[in-house]
Amino acid sequence: MEARLDQFGSPIMGKVAKHFIAASRQIAESELLPAATRELVMMRASQINGCGFCVDMHFKDAVHGGEEATRLNLVQVWREATVFTDAERAALELAEQGTRLADGAPGVTDEVWANAAKHYDEEQLGALVALIALINAFNRGNVMLRQPAGAYRPGMFA
């Protein structure tokens, strides 16, 4: 599989991608959310959106950051798994509802938001919303371009 176009070779796509990466970096550097939570959320949204490139990236980045393979293997079935904290579960559910907007879902329910607000303050919730929006944008671009998975190396976009 080959990408439909080289997003970093395209002047406009390259500029936009750099801004998206910079925005993601701001969320990470804020340290409002644990690295594990960020990677779990990005991995789950990427699974839902069918973005193999991002699933590969966030799996590898999480492992590189010390995350356990067992937890990563269970992200797609987090409701049935016993390896996630209540806060991580709340973030994963928020990510799922925020990602499934195009599926005709009603959006993020008050119940899901209230549950997330039990575990995260307003700044952290803002970081989660921004993270979920960004990963969905990355996913959609990569899926449209048919960006292949497998070649990512941790830190390659640093």
Predicted confidence (pLDDT) per residue in 31-88, tens digit: 999 999 999 999 999 999 999 999 999 999 999 999 999 999 999 999 999 999 999 9
In a domain, 18, yes or no: no
What is the distance between the alpha carbons of residues 69 and 48, in angstroms, rounded to a whole number? 19
In a domain, 9, yes or no: no
What is the distance between the alpha carbons of residues 25 and 158, in angstroms, rounded to a whole number? 9
In a domain, 150, yes or no: no
Would you state the structure tokens that stand for residue 5, as one six-digit string? 């176009």
What is the distance between the alpha carbons of residues 61 and 20, in angstroms, rounded to a whole number? 17
What is the extent of the structural domain holding 105? 34-145
Structural domains counted in the chain: 1
How large is the C-alpha radius of gyration of the chain? 15
pLDDT digits (tens, 9 = 90+) for 77-128: 999 999 999 999 999 999 999 999 878 778 899 999 999 999 999 999 999 9
DSSP 8-state class, residue 148? P
Q: What is the CATH number of the domain that holds 89?
A: 1.20.1290.10
In a domain, 88, yes or no: yes
CA proximity to 93, closest of 105, 23, 51: 105
pLDDT over 90 at 155, yes or no = no
In a domain, 63, yes or no: yes
Three-class secondary structure of residue 6 per DSSP: coil
The whole-model pTM stands at 0.93
Would you state the structure tokens that stand for residue 87, as one six-digit string? 């806060």
Instruction: Name the one residue in this structure whose structure tokens are 């990602």.
Output: 99
